[in-house]
Amino acid sequence: MCGIVGILGTEPVAMQLVDALRRLEYRGYDSAGIAVLKDGEIDRVRAPGKLDNLYAKVVGNGWDGTTGIGHTRWATHGAPNETNAHPHQAGNVVVVHNGIIENYRTLKDQLAADGIACETQTDTEVVAQLINQKLATGASARDAVSQTLKQLEGAFSLGILVRGEHDLMMGARQGAPLAIGYGDGQMFLGSDAVALAPFTNRVSYLNDGDWVVLTRAGAEIFDVHDQAVVRNISFSQASTMLVDKGNHRHFMIKEIYEQPEVIGHTLANYVDFNSEKVALRDMGDRKDPLNFADLDRLNAARDLMACGGGGSA
């Protein structure tokens, strides 16, 4: 699972974001990045590989913005390079995303028909492009996000910033966990409470279909029908392992909900979702087609089943 962290703070957040992302390294990743609002403008930096590469770009850069989002990416759509690393920006919008937008190709084609070309190979960029497109027609940031969410299919959690909106951060959850952290004149967003632990112990989790509007004064949470709702705030000093269950009762349930993204990560080693092509591992100098009859493990499993050695579920 990728990692998300967002901070509406009272002091510069760039290094805080990097430090929070380190707490999410256990999720696995191949690139990382942050975006900070400084004087209303978007400063964004990304790097492939380990967080040390991102740290080297951030340290000493003098950013003093107090609003920002960060992300550790585990590639599914597109190569794990700087171009495809999060956060993704489209005009006035910057987005981080966990999960998979299953209908992204349809949405990408719709954007292209409107004269909007995506610059990356990712499914995430369409979210930023759609929100930015709606802002350009005069929609408010809230309405643009609400309308965009209704176009998305799949499992996802999102963190969203808008240029010029220093006291605004939005998030959404469908399938992939997303936590809200409540501070003193500060608010936080994270994949789970592990990332938020240095900042606050007051945490609530969004339900499926929820989206949230954060300001430094608090959180407004809406359900899938855009109706205002209240989600419980827990005061937790629990261990990392307990907190990481999110709002699931058991780790098994959490793992079930994570399956679409985990399968996507696995397939990404062999499938280029952007070009819709499949590439098997390097077969060396072998030129003839792969013959599954030559695979010892499959043959052993077949012989075992033929002998009645299969187990029962």
pLDDT one-digit tens code per residue, 245-290: 555 555 566 666 666 666 665 565 566 556 666 666 554 554 455 5
Which residues 6+ apart lie within 8 Å of 32 measured at CB?
21, 46, 47, 51, 53, 54, 70, 71, 72, 73, 85
* pLDDT, position 240: 46
| The predicted structure's pLDDT at residue 128 | 97
Question: Would you state the pLDDT for residue 50?
Answer: 87
In-domain check, residue 72: yes
Domain tally, the chain: 1
pLDDT in tens, 32-75: 899 999 888 999 999 988 889 999 999 988 788 999 999 987 66
User: Residue 115 belongs to a domain with what CATH number?
Assistant: 3.60.20.10
- Establish if 47 belongs to a structural domain: yes
Distance from C-alpha of 90 to C-alpha of 130, rounded to nearest angstrom? 9
Per the structure, the complete domain to which residue 63 belongs is given by: 3-243
Residue 195 lies in a domain: yes
**Phi, psi of 45, rounded to the nearest 5 degrees:** -140, 140
Q: pLDDT band for position 97 (50/70/90)?
A: very high
pLDDT for res 6? 97
pLDDT band of residue 99 (cuts 50, 70, 90) is confident
- Using a pLDDT cut of 90, give the percent of the chain over it: 52
260 within some domain: no
Task: Provide φ and ψ at 46, rounded to 5°.
Answer: -140, 160
State the pLDDT confidence band at 175, using cuts at 50, 70 and 90.
confident
- 109 in a domain, yes or no? yes
**Domain presence at residue 76:** yes
Contact 176, 261 (CB under 8 A): yes
Instruction: Let me know if residue 171 belongs to a domain.
Output: yes
* Residue-wise pLDDT tens digits, 215-253: 999 999 999 999 999 999 987 654 444 445 555 555 566
pTM: 0.76
122-142 per-position pLDDT tens digit? 889 999 999 999 999 999 999
User: Which of 158-162, 173-177, 178-182, 238-242 comes out lowest in average pLDDT?
Assistant: 238-242
The whole-number pLDDT of residue 203 equals 93
Position 309 confidence tier, pLDDT thresholds 50, 70, 90: very low
Element (H, E) at 93: strand 93-101
Q: What pLDDT, on the 0 to 100 scale, is given for residue 248?
A: 55
Judge whether 313 lies within some domain: no
